[in-house]
């Protein structure tokens, strides 16, 4: 019973605080010029949105159909490819010294 309480505590208290700290740290590293640069060069935003909103779901749908998956797993694959990256992609962009403003946008 104690293990379940620990897992619940971690899921409801620890993980949200960690995500908050990660997002706050990345947000504090951004300046207004970062977003001006993103608006100045909209090609990167267009490519990213096209890949995330069109290409990734098409690839996921194709893989879910080609691979011999049970329906539950195929639905899981589609849920994964249809969800935006969010905190994780921003964090990896930050760690890789990438364009965090572009990732946030």
Average pLDDT per block of 10 residues along the chain, 105 residues long: 82 89 84 84 86 90 92 90 78 83 81
Instruction: Confirm whether 95 is domain-assigned.
Output: yes
**Is there a contact between 78 and 57 (Cβ–Cβ < 8 Å)?**
yes
d(CA 79, CA 77): 5
Instruction: Confirm whether 96 is domain-assigned.
Output: yes
Instruction: Confirm whether 12 is domain-assigned.
Output: no
Give me the domain span that covers residue 97: 31-104
Total count of domains within the chain: 1
Instruction: Confirm whether 44 is domain-assigned.
Output: yes
| pLDDT score of 3 | 78
| pLDDT score of 1 | 55
Instruction: Confirm whether 5 is domain-assigned.
Output: no
Instruction: Confirm whether 83 is domain-assigned.
Output: yes
Instruction: Confirm whether 20 is domain-assigned.
Output: no
| pLDDT score of 72 | 93
Instruction: Confirm whether 23 is domain-assigned.
Output: no
**Is there a contact between 87 and 95 (Cβ–Cβ < 8 Å)?**
no
d(CA 3, CA 89): 30
């Amino acid at each position: 019973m104690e293990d379940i309480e620990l897992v619940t505590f971690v899921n409801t208290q620890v993980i949200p605080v960690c995500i908050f700290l990660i997002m706050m740290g990345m947000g504090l590293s951004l300046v207004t010029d970062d977003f001006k640069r993103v608006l100045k060069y909209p090609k990167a935003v267009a490519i990213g949105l096209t890949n995330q909103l069109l290409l990734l779901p098409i690839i996921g749908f194709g893989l879910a159909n080609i691979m011999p998956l049970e329906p539950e797993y195929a639905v899981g694959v589609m849920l994964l490819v249809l969800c935006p990256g969010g905190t994780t992609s921003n964090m990896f962009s930050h760690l890789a010294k990438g364009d965090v403003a572009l990732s946030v946008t």
